[in-house]
């Protein structure tokens, strides 16, 4: 009997312990379920907030891009406005200068007109005077050219006369005569000059050849053309090699 009672007590104790364990396990399960649900809720909330944050970030990025574009457009417009202002300023300055010049020319014209009116000379008389002046200027230029030709003829005749009178003839050339050597033949010792009869070169005229201010040789003219002449190198006067580009001037310039 005692054994049965002990067995029952043991069974009851085991049942109570099992029930207690079940209750504890159920509490733990309930707690875990609650924690799981809370975790899921927090996760879902975090995902929602993350998605919203990403949307806000994307919108902020778009706004920033738009703001940068608007800033670039504003800068371009500002630069264009500055350039336009500079252009308009330059144009205004040019117009001011032109206006000042035009005003000065107007004042000069008015002064000239006043001076002209003060002379009492008519417009026809002025036109006649201008025509006469131009005619005189033309005649003066023609006389100057004729005088140059006559001077050349005079020098030529003087040289020819000197040749008829004596054998030691010195042919003088124009004092302002200048030329250059354009060709050289060292084998036959002759050169070609870029000056001729039109410039005042005469047969048997002597010219000094120089380079950089230093005497190189002396040549004597043997053939004269309109704008070219041929000369021989005078023996004993060649101090260096004669080359193209050397300058020539009269050895005996006319006074």
Token representation of residue 24: 């504890």
Q: Residues with Cβ < 8 Å from 189, sequence gap 6 or more? A: 232, 233
Furthest CA-CA distance within the chain = 194
Tens-digit pLDDT profile for residues 244-253: 999 999 999 9
What is the average pLDDT value for the chain, to the nearest integer? 79
Please give the Cα distance from 193 to 180 (Å, whole number): 6
Question: Does 113 lie in the same domain as 23?
Answer: yes
| Residue 88 located in a structural domain | yes
Check whether 38 has a pLDDT greater than 90.
no
CA atoms within 13 A on the CB side of 204: 12
pLDDT of residue 39: 75
CA atoms within 13 A on the CB side of 81: 6
In which band, very low, low, confident or very high, does the pLDDT at 168 lie, cut at 50, 70 and 90?
Answer: low
pTM for the structure as a whole: 0.39
Question: Does 106 lie in the same domain as 22?
Answer: yes
Q: How many C-beta atoms surround the C-beta of residue 238 within 10 A?
A: 15
In which band, very low, low, confident or very high, does the pLDDT at 187 lie, cut at 50, 70 and 90?
Answer: confident
Check whether 57 has a pLDDT greater than 60.
yes
Question: Does 99 lie in the same domain as 7?
Answer: yes
pLDDT of residue 206: 94
Please give the Cα distance from 200 to 149 (Å, whole number): 9
pLDDT of residue 246: 96
Which residues constitute the domain of residue 146? 121-168
Question: Does 128 lie in the same domain as 93?
Answer: no
Residues forming a β-bridge with 214:
211
Please give the Cα distance from 115 to 200 (Å, whole number): 47
Q: How many domains does the chain have?
A: 3
Token representation of residue 246: 């050397």
Look at 34-48, 67-81, 139-153, 233-247 and tell me which has the smallest mean pLDDT. 139-153
Exposure string over 181-196, b if 16+ CB within 10 A, otherwise e: beebeeeebbbbbebb
Of residues 44 and 165, the one with the higher pLDDT is 44
Tens-digit pLDDT profile for residues 217-228: 999 999 999 899
Q: Where are the alpha helices (DSSP H) in the chain?
A: 2-119, 123-165
pLDDT of residue 193: 96
Are the C-beta atoms of residues 207 and 249 closer than 8 Å to each other?
A: yes
Q: How many C-beta atoms surround the C-beta of residue 219 within 10 A?
A: 28
Element (H, E) at 180: strand 179-185
| Residue 93 located in a structural domain | yes
Residue 217's nearest CA partner among 187, 195, 241 is 241
Question: Does 197 lie in the same domain as 128?
Answer: no
Check whether 102 has a pLDDT greater than 80.
no
Check whether 78 has a pLDDT greater than 90.
no
Mean per-residue pLDDT for 181-190? 90
Check whether 89 has a pLDDT greater than 90.
no
pLDDT of residue 167: 47
| Residue 255 located in a structural domain | no
Question: Does 217 lie in the same domain as 154?
Answer: no
Can you tell me whether residue 175 is helix, strand or coil? coil
Mean per-residue pLDDT for 7-20? 67
Token representation of residue 212: 């950089």
Of residues 117 and 40, the one with the higher pLDDT is 40
Of residues 141 and 45, the one with the higher pLDDT is 45
Please give the Cα distance from 16 to 10 (Å, whole number): 10
In which band, very low, low, confident or very high, does the pLDDT at 161 lie, cut at 50, 70 and 90?
Answer: low
Please give the Cα distance from 109 to 117 (Å, whole number): 12
């Amino acid at each position: 009997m005692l054994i049965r009672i002990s067995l029952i007590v043991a069974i009851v104790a085991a049942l109570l312990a099992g029930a207690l364990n079940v209750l504890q396990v159920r509490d733990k399960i309930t707690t875990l379920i609650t924690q799981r649900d809370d975790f899921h809720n927090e996760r879902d909330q975090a995902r929602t907030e993350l998605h919203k944050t990403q949307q806000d970030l994307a919108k902020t990025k778009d706004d920033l891009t738009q703001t940068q574009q608007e800033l670039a457009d504003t800068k371009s417009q500002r630069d264009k406005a500055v350039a336009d202002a500079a252009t308009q300023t330059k144009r205004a300055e040019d117009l001011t200068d032109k206006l000042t010049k035009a005003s000065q020319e107007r004042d000069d014209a008015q002064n000239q007109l006043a001076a002209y009116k003060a002379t009492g000379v008519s417009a026809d008389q002025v036109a006649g005077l201008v025509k006469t002046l131009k005619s005189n200027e033309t005649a003066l230029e023609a006389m100057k050219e004729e005088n140059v030709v006559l001077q050349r003829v005079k020098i030529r005749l003087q040289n020819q006369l000197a040749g008829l009178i004596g054998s030691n003839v010195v042919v003088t050339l124009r004092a302002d005569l200048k030329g250059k050597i354009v060709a050289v033949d060292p084998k036959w010792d002759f050169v070609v000059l870029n000056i001729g009869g039109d410039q005042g070169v005469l047969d048997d005229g002597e010219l000094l050849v120089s380079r950089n201010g230093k005497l190189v040789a002396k040549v004597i003219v043997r053939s004269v053309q309109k704008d070219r002449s041929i000369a021989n190198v005078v023996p004993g006067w060649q101090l260096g090699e004669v080359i193209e580009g050397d300058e020539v001037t009269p050895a005996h310039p006319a006074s």
